[in-house]
């Protein structure tokens, strides 16, 4: 069964890296937003694991990205969970203004 796909979209949030267990496993998520339906926008989390966690350090909200991912799933008791794990990505366009940047007036403004 083919379980890989590619998705493109705008980054809504990049979560901090989580360290899980004593064996050094780590993961973080990049959440894309599909806001074509303004009333009910879809938030699509893609999980980055192990060494790929650092690869998304330069990704910021508002950036447009293309992510290749694998679908996986698991059963726990009588519940089923679906997971999309990134296998690669590319930044297509950067957000020109990042919320963490501070705005300051030009030096020659007289106030």
pLDDT in tens, 58-97: 999 999 999 999 999 999 999 999 999 999 999 999 987 6
Task: State percent of the chain over pLDDT 90.
Answer: 74
Contact yes or no for 46/33 (Cβ under 8 A) = no
* 6 contact partners, CB below 8 Å, separation of at least 6: 66, 67, 68, 69
Q: What is the pTM of this model?
A: 0.80
Give the confidence band of 2 by pLDDT, cuts at 50, 70, 90: confident
Quickly count: other Cβ atoms within 10 Å of residue 96's Cβ.
7
User: Could you tell me which of 19, 7, 15 has the C-alpha nearest to residue 59?
Assistant: 15
pLDDT tens digits for 4-55? 999 999 999 999 999 999 998 999 999 999 888 888 989 999 999 999 999 9
Give the confidence band of 103 by pLDDT, cuts at 50, 70, 90: very low
């Amino acid at each position: 069964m083919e379980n890989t796909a590619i998705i493109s979209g705008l980054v809504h949030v990049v979560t901090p890296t989580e360290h899980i267990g004593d064996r050094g496993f780590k993961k973080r998520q990049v959440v894309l937003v599909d806001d074509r339906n303004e009333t009910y926008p879809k938030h699509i989390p893609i999980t980055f694991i192990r060494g790929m966690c650092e690869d998304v350090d330069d990704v910021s909200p508002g950036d447009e990205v293309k992510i290749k991912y694998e679908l996986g799933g698991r059963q726990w008791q009588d519940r089923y969970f679906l997971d999309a794990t990134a296998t690669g990505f590319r930044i297509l366009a950067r957000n020109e203004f990042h919320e963490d940047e501070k705005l300051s007036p030009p030096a020659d403004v007289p106030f």
